[in-house]
């Protein structure tokens, strides 16, 4: 019969999706499943944003928008980059896409030739290597260690660079670990990248606002202004504004690359949904104190989780500096056997058994390129987080 394109050969489905599928199947059988598998805020979209979408639709903003975003949203994004990051962008250095994910897709499609290497520090959000591979890119994964708070050591980056390197991806605060790079880490990373003038840099700053304790976020382009002609600063509405379903992401970068990304998007999807753009502009320009409230909530949950996890013999848990995940290590549980008789060899075995025997969905660290860990999302209520930790405690205690 008709064949599929070779570019899809060997592309696995993201493990995050596989865990959710299995969780849904068990739920359908009537089991009481707690899902800590998804990276989706459990807050509502700000009312001002919903109202702005409504008004835009009533005003007739329902026609094809410009490919790279409505002038109103691009102006709001320019203000956001000034206000939050100290970055100035002209309109032709900005573009709006269907979520942060399409920013990455556009950027990689516009630049990656087969064999080009894409440096993605591990652990990583699964989409970067998967998108890179769709274009024949070869992912290279320097490791961010738990002992370093899952930050990227400049010397680890330096060791991963080769003449084939096309991109370096930075994602701090990080999904899945919540790890952050300090300003001095970022300066060291910039120093490495100065030696490689033909390398593009993607800074995925979608978790920028979700930073705890004494930690401070810094935008990579602000730390290394001399590299701005090759940095794409990516951000979006999904996490800080609880607007995952509106599908609004955006990028600020050099005009030449933004034009190429616009050309990709023009042939794929055109400009994104007009009413979603109106909502995004209202959220970016509206009151920002709801973000502070969210951060306080996520920080409390993080504290609750870290304390509960550290209390479980056999688990280790670093304190995440940001985002809304915890990433406990499960080394101490491997080699053991569950009550149902499953031998736990890998963290994937652990996550699957924990789901099927204790009904909590998580994602194994191996899905993100650093094992043996579990990623637990804190984007759910305290009650469910506490219940999930109790189930984890019992599950681990039941291992023999």
Nearer to ligand PLP, 165 or 175 (CB): 175
Given the complex with ligand PLP, which of 175 and 380 has the nearer CB atom?
Answer: 175
CB 336 within 8 A of CB 354: no
Q: What's the CA gap between 174 and 189, in Å, rounded? A: 16
Q: How far is CA 132 from CA 101, 108, 138, 236, 284, in A?
A: 12, 6, 7, 20, 30
Q: Among candidates 206, 234, 211, 231, which has minimal Cα distance to 221? A: 231
How far apart are CB 186 and ligand PLP at their closest, in Å? 17
Q: Which two tokens stand for residue 312?
A: 């479980």
Q: How far is the CB of 2 from ligand PLP (least distance, A)?
A: 30
- Nearest-approach distance from CB 1 to ligand PLP, in angstroms: 33
Q: Which is nearer to ligand PLP, 143 or 386 (CB)?
A: 143
Please tell me the distance from the alpha carbon of residue 195 to that of residue 185, in angstroms, as a whole number.
16
Phi, then psi, of 231 in degrees rounded to 5:
-100, 130
**Closer residue to ligand PLP in complex, CB, 175/233:** 175
Shortest distance in whole angstroms from residue 205 CB to ligand PLP: 9
Nearest residue (CB) to ligand PLP, 182 versus 244: 244
Beta strands in the chain (DSSP E): 34-35, 94-97, 117-119, 138-140, 165-170, 200-204, 231-236, 249-252, 325-326, 360-361, 363-364, 374-377
Q: Decide whether 16 or 338 has the Cβ nearer to ligand PLP.
A: 16
Sheet of strand 165-170, all strands in order from the earlier edge strand to the far edge: 94-97, 249-252, 231-236, 200-204, 165-170, 117-119, 138-140
* Site residues (vs ligand PLP, CB under 6 A): 39, 99-101, 125, 171, 175, 204, 206, 236, 238, 244, 249
Residue 210 Cβ vs ligand PLP, minimum distance, rounded to whole Å: 11
Question: Cα dihedral angle (134, 367, 124, 149), rounded to 10 degrees?
Answer: -170
Q: Shortest approach of ligand PLP to residue 127 CB, angstroms? A: 7
Indicate the residue among 101 and 153 with the shorter CB distance to ligand PLP: 101
Q: How far is the CB of 39 from ligand PLP (least distance, A)?
A: 4
Instruction: Look up residue 161 and give its two tokens.
Output: 């660079």
- What is the CA 388 to chain-centroid distance, rounded? 23
Cβ-closest position to ligand PLP = 99
In whole angstroms, the minimum distance from the beta carbon of 26 to ligand PLP comes to 23
Distance CA 124, CA 375 (A): 11
- List residues bridging with 139 in a β-sheet: 118
- The residue among 53 and 312 lying less far from ligand PLP, judged by its C-beta, is 53
């Amino acid at each position: 019969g008709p064949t599929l394109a070779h570019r899809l050969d060997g592309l696995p489905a993201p493990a995050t999706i596989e865990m959710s599928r299995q969780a849904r199947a068990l739920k359908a059988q009537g089991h009481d499943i707690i899902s800590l598998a998804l990276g989706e805020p459990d807050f509502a979209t700000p009312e001002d944003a919903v109202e702005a979408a409504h008004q835009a639709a009533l005003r007739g903003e329902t026609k094809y928008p410009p490919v790279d975003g409505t002038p109103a949203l691009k102006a709001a994004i320019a203000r956001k980059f000034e206000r939050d990051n100290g970055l100035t962008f002209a309109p032709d250095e900005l573009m709006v896409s269907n979520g942060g994910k399409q920013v990455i897709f556009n950027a990689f499609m516009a630049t990656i030739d087969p064999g080009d290497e894409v440096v993605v520090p591990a652990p990583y959000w699964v989409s970067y290597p998967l998108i890179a591979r769709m274009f024949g890119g070869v992912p290279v994964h320097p490791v961010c260690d738990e002992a370093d708070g899952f930050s990227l050591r400049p010397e680890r980056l330096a060791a991963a660079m080769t003449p084939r390197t096309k991109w370096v991806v930075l994602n701090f605060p990080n999904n899945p670990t919540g790890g952050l790079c300090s300003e001095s880490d970022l300066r060291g990373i910039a120093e490495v990248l100065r030696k490689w003038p033909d390398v593009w840099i993607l800074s995925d700053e979608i978790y920028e606002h979700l930073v705890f304790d004494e930690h401070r976020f810094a935008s990579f382009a602000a730390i290394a202004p001399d590299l701005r002609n090759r940095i794409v600063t990516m951000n979006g509405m999904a996490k800080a504004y609880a607007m995952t379903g509106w599908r609004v992401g955006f990028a600020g970068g050099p005009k030449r690359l933004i034009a190429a990304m616009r050309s990709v998007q023009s042939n794929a999807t055109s400009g994104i949904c007009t009413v979603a753009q109106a909502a995004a502009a209202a959220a970016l320009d509206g009151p920002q104190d709801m973000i502070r409230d969210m951060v306080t909530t996520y920080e409390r949950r993080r504290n609750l989780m870290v304390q509960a996890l550290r209390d479980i013999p056999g688990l280790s848990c670093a304190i995440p500096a940001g985002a809304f995940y915890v990433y406990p290590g499960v080394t101490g549980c491997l080699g053991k056997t569950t009550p149902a008789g499953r031998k736990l060899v890998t963290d994937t075995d652990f996550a699957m058994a924990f789901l099927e025997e204790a009904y909590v969905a998580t994602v194994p660290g191996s899905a993100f390129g650093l094992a043996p860990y579990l990623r637990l999302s804190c984007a759910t209520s305290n009650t469910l987080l506490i219940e999930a930790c109790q189930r984890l405690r019992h599950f681990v205690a039941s291992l023999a």
